[in-house]
Structure 1
Amino acid sequence: MLYLSSYMLGDHADRLLAMAGGAGARMAVLTNALDAIPLEAQLNFVRTKYDPLTYFFQNGFDPSLFDLRRYFGRPHELASLLRQYRIIWALGGNSFLLRRAMRDSGFDTILPDLLKRGIVYAGWSAGACVAGDLMSAVAAMDEPNVTAPGYLTTDPIETGLGLLPYQIIPHYESDHPETSAARGAVEWAMKHGVKYVPLRDGEVIIENRGHVDFLPKLR
Structure 2
Amino acid sequence: MRMYLSSWRLGDDVERLLELSSGSSAAVVANAMDAADGVVRRDAVQLELDALGGLGFQPVEVDLRLEGAAGELASFDVVWVRGGNVFVLREALASSGADLVLRELVTADAVVYAGYSAGCCVLGPTLRGLEFVDDPTAVDEPRWDGLGLLDYVFLPHYRSDHPESAAIERVVADYERRGLSHRRVRDGEVVVVDSS
Q: Does TM, normalized by the shorter one, top 0.5?
A: yes
Counterpart residue number, 2:15 = 14
Q: 1:112 to 1:38 in 2, by over 3 A?
A: same
- Cα separation, 1, equivalents of 2:171 and 2:7: 14
Q: Conserved in 2, the CA contact under 8 Å of 1:29 and 1:88?
A: yes
Given the alignment of the two structures, is residue 87 of structure 1 paired with residue 73 of structure 2, yes or no?
A: no
Consecutive unaligned residues of structure 2, counting only runs of 5 or more, are none
Counterpart residue number, 1:68 = 64
Q: Conserved in 1, the CA contact under 8 Å of 2:32 and 2:82?
A: yes
Which entry has the higher C-alpha Rg, 1 or 2?
1
Query: What SS is found at the alignment partner of 1:145?
Result: helix
- Cα separation, 1, equivalents of 2:30 and 2:81: 7
Counterpart residue number, 1:36 = 35
Q: Conserved in 2, the CA contact under 8 Å of 1:12 and 1:204?
A: yes
- Cα separation, 2, equivalents of 1:204 and 1:179: 16
Quick one: which of 169, 172, 176 aligns to 1:190?
A: 176
Given the alignment of the two structures, is residue 127 of structure 1 paired with residue 126 of structure 2, yes or no?
A: no
Report Cα offsets for 1:122-181 as digits up to 9, x if no partner.
Answer: 11000000011111121110011213xxxxxx1121110101111111000001111111
Look up the equivalent residue of 1:159 and give its one-letter code. Answer: D
Quick one: which of 126, 131, 139 aligns to 1:139?
A: 131
Q: Conserved in 2, the CA contact under 8 Å of 1:5 and 1:203?
A: yes
Counterpart residue number, 2:88 = 97
Consecutive unaligned residues of structure 1, counting only runs of 5 or more, are 148-153, 211-219
Query: Percent of pairs identical after alignment?
Result: 38
Q: 1:40 to 1:18 in 2, by over 3 A?
A: same
- Cα separation, 1, equivalents of 2:13 and 2:153: 21
- Cα separation, 2, equivalents of 1:111 and 1:64: 17
Q: 1:14 to 1:4 in 2, by over 3 A?
A: same
Counterpart residue number, 1:27 = 26
The structural deviation recorded for 1:16 is 0.8
Query: What SS is found at the alignment partner of 1:83?
Result: helix
